[in-house]
Structure 1
Amino acid sequence: MDYIPPVSSSWVWRRICSVKQDIIHGFMDGKWVVQPDGYTPTGCYEWLKDSRPTIPWHNVIWNVWVIPKQQFLEWLVAQGALNTLDKLIQYGLQVENKFLLCGHAEENMAHLFFDCQYSRRMISAIQKLTGCQLPQTNSITWCATRGGSKVQQGVHVALVHGAIYRVWSQRNQCRVERVVMRPEWVAKEMVQDVKTRIKGRENLNLNVSDIGWLHQSKLM
């Protein structure tokens, strides 16, 4: 319990040892007093996990209907960790803050998702292709409170995440290659990604109501 990792040790090992300082509080006179059955790795993990705050957007970000790379990007968005131009300027970089996809405003996350004319056209195209109503802002609250079955909620989340991912991809492509696809084409590709994801989740034994809704939305 008194072990202190040397400064030269790896970050991973130092991080593991830092957890030990939390575990110490579960012992008294060398005995594990947190749970009546004594110490077990599983019990200790559950105890440590319960001490951490609940993340309200957990089920929205890590949703099974969303492609993993899109989940990661949305996690960055939720953390406010995307390196948009306004952030780069705050870091001290000398760059011109102009959003290239529209050229009408400064680049920040609020403008990207979805105040920009380009991203709004994409959202509009997605709604026309699927009949699903999507938010005009990147609203985790909207996704978390969306009505319908779990499948319908998950697909709506997948459409929002897909739109965010595609806008960011087009933003990067425009900055590097100085070319950008029409938002209607991008929306069509994104909806096809969602269809592919749905097809891969057919083993979830969808009920008749959800299957009918997916066919109505032209996603199956």
Structure 2
Amino acid sequence: MCWWNKAAVAKLLWAITYKKDRLWCKWVHAYYIKGRDVGSTQWPVNMSWPLRKILNSQSLIDSIGGWSAVSKGGVFSTQIMYHLLMGPCDKVSWRRVIFHNKASPKSIFVSWLAVLGRLPTLDRLLKWKIVDSNVCPLCSCMPESTQHLFFECSYSAAIWSSVLACLQFHRPVSQLDNEVVLMTRAAKRTGDRFKLLLMFFAECLYGIWLQRNAKVYTHSCRSPLDLLRDIKYRVACRATDQQRNLLLM
């Protein structure tokens, strides 16, 4: 996200440099630049912090090859600059689980955070000294962590095991890391059952996370069976007719 923010800031600098007809760019030129070169101007002390940040990003542009390196057809490309700043990087093995998934965008986003271990679970909040206890609010048995919440917790395990049985996947429920490996394999398959499995995976993570939050903040949550019905409905709404027939079998 840091590199993307820098690329977005650089786009504003590009507008100041090449889009002088825009009203806000005219204001910057009239009050601060005053006909001088953007890259060599000494900015006044009373300049606002955001504008100073934008103008100081010229050094970053120069370090990656100038405007020509981040432009396409004479237009600044945030994507090109982002990739230049990021440099070469390996693709994660589970990318298909997230990006080839037809589940709802909210579910995809929560799943992405869960796989990265970025959800604010109680074990993390306890380290930050925000809470006093890290006991799982859904089962009240074990410390809450991403691995416990998905799917070591009896609440979430009951939901996911029902999903596997519904789709005729006869295997035990594993914790999140192991399930991600299995979902990665499923993402390479083309059958409707596997596509449904990916959708259910994301919707389950999202639904369980919502109920976890409800338990924390309102001290109540839906039963696993009730939540499973809602998850099936959300999946059915985004599934094809052929995939819906599998859910009715």
Q: How does the TM-score come out when normalised to structure 2?
A: 0.65
CA offsets 1:166-206 (integer angstroms, 9 cap, x no match):
1111111112222222212211210110010115xx7xxxx
* Matched ranges for 1:4-153 at <5 A: 8-10=48-50, 14=53, 18=57, 21-22=60-61, 24-27=63-66, 32=68, 40-41=74-75, 45-46=79-80, 48-49=82-83, 51-56=87-92, 57-132=94-169, 136-138=174-176, 139-146=179-186, 147-149=188-190, 152-153=193-194
Q: For the residues of structure 2 that align with 1:150 and 1:23, how far apart are their CA atoms?
A: 49
**Aligned residue type for 1:144:** T
> In structure 2, do the counterparts of structure 1 residues 98 and 55 end up closer, same or farther at CA, with 3 Å as the change threshold?
same
Secondary structure (helix, strand or coil) at the match of 1:124 reads helix
For residue 222 of structure 2, give the secondary structure of its aligned residue in structure 1.
Answer: coil
- The separation in 2 between residues aligned to 1:19 and 1:98, in whole angstroms, is 49
Residue identity matched to 1:184: L
- Identity, in percent, stands at 19
User: Higher relative contact order at CA 8 Å, sep ≥6: structure 1 or structure 2?
Assistant: 1
Amino acid at match of 2:65: G
Q: Which amino acid aligns with 2:83?
A: K
- Give how far 1:45 is off: 4.1
The separation in 1 between residues aligned to 2:55 and 2:162, in whole angstroms, is: 48
Matched, 1:159 2:175: no
Q: Please tell me whether the aligned partners of residues 101 and 198 of structure 2 are also in contact (alpha carbons under 8 angstroms).
A: no
Q: 1:4 offset after TM fit, Å? A: 8.2
Cα separation, 2, equivalents of 1:94 and 1:64 = 34
Task: State the distance in 2 between where 1:2 and 1:58 align.
Answer: 43
State the secondary structure of the residue aligned to 1:143. helix
The size of the alignment, in residue pairs, is 202
| Pair 1:171–1:145, CA change in 2 (3 A) | same
| Aligned partner letter, 2:145 | N
Task: Report how far residue 133 of structure 1 moved.
Answer: 5.8
Q: Aligned letter for 2:223? A: R
Residues 46-90 of structure 1: CA distance to partner in whole angstroms, max 9, x if unpaired? 465263524424432233501011111112213322111111110
TM-score, normalisation: structure 1: 0.73
Larger Rg: 2
Question: Is 1:182 equivalent to 2:219 in the alignment?
Answer: no
RMSD, aligned α-carbons = 3.6
* Letter in structure 1 aligned against 2:166: L
**Contact 2:193–2:246 under 8 Å retained in 1:** no
Q: Runs of 5+ in structure 2 lacking a partner?
A: 1-38
Question: Offset of 1:127 from its aligned partner?
Answer: 2.2
Aligned mates of 2:62, 2:180 — CA distance in 1: 34
5+ residue gaps in structure 1?
203-210
Take 2:58 and 2:168, find their aligned partners in 1: how far apart are those partners? Answer: 49
Equivalent AA in structure 2 for residue 218 of structure 1: L
Q: What CA distance in whole angstroms lies between the structure 2 residues aligned with 1:78 and 1:90?
A: 20
Compared with structure 1, are the counterparts of its residues 144 and 184 closer, same or farther at alpha carbon in structure 2 (3 Å cutoff)? same
Distance 1:182 1:114 in 2: 16
Out of 139-148 and 154-163, give the one that drifted further.
Answer: 139-148
Aligned equivalents of 2:88, 2:191: Cα separation in 1: 26
| 1:207 alignment partner in structure 2 | none
